[in-house]
Amino acid sequence: MGAASELLTPLAEVLRRYVLDTEKLHGDDTPLPVLAPGTGKTKTGRFWTYVRDNRPAGDDRAPAVWFAYSPDRKGEHPQRHLAKFVGILQADAFAGFNRLYQSGAIQEAPCMAHIRRNFFDLMKAHQSPIATEAVERIAALYRIEKEIKGKPADVRRAVRTARARPLFDDMRRWMDQALTQLAPKSETAAAIHYALGLWDALARYLDDGRIELDNLIAERALRPVAMGRRNYLFAGSDSGGRRAAILYSLIGTARLNGLDPEAYLRYVLSRIAEHPIKHIEELLPWKVAGKLAPSLRQAA
């Protein structure tokens, strides 16, 4: 993998710049076991994923994902990754992202799916009526999103203003009232407090049709990593983690663009050594799509 990743490094850098050149970005992270030198044990490294995919808001530009590796989960890593990014970051409530929002250059757009999971777990575990109602209220917002998926941003904003905002505002009032019925330290009260702590930032999706209601775009990008962990178990070193991030970036972007990742990498690796570096962007997945056989354009 080392030789291949060296050849692919310039292409991954072009991909990184493309991913970050957007008004709205999805971000997330996941652990990666990494062999700790001299110990015979593993430590916990981190994969960070950043996804540019605005197709749900009617944007026809190519989706893409960039992976970065770090040896730990310190907030300094996303702060470095996004040091020059200006726009909307859709992410979970990880504290390491917080400093990114302080200057105002990056706007926070939290994930409703995380809020829903808290209530859903309580509904299943305890048959909590309040948790059940929260899940039902959130489902009503998602039904609206299903109807407007793929519509232009201005259309989505108008529909949300007319139909989602009344539901959203009423849910806030309902949560405030529900807290008066709960023990302050109960699990259900904690789930409501978590939601209310993000409520103002979450409301941004109502006024901006580019924003999604959740961050599932980034979560889906991380699924291959979870599958990989079951097969290769751990990375051999920090440098191995960085090489893997390059491959995950290209494989993930190939999948987002409907390509068979193996066919795409075979095509690129057979040409990249002789390809002019100043035209390296010609080997990005969506640039290559028309050159692959039709049977290889659809990801398995």
Provide the residue ranges of all domains of the chain, joining segments of one domain with +: 2-108+215-296, 112-199
Q: b vs e for 53-72, b when ≥16 Cβ sit within 10 Å of the residue's Cβ?
A: bbebbbbeebbbbbbbbbbe
What confidence category does residue 300 fall into, taking pLDDT thresholds of 50, 70 and 90?
very low
Give the lowest-confidence range in 124-128, 185-189, 290-294: 290-294
Q: Spell out the alpha helix ranges (H) of 21-152.
A: 76-81, 112-126, 129-148
CA dist., res. 135 & res. 195, Å (int): 12
Share of the chain above pLDDT 90, in %: 86
Does this model's pTM top 0.85? My answer is yes
Q: b vs e for 188-215, b when ≥16 Cβ sit within 10 Å of the residue's Cβ?
A: bbebbeebeebeeebbbbbebbbbbbbb
Containing 43, the helix (H) or strand (E) segment is strand 41-52
Share of the chain above pLDDT 70, in %: 94
CA dist., res. 18 & res. 97, Å (int): 21
pLDDT in tens, 60-85: 999 999 999 999 999 999 999 999 99
Higher pLDDT, 93 or 38: 93
3-class state of residue 269 by DSSP: helix
Give the lowest-confidence range in 88-97, 143-152, 210-219, 228-237: 228-237
CA dist., res. 188 & res. 173, Å (int): 16
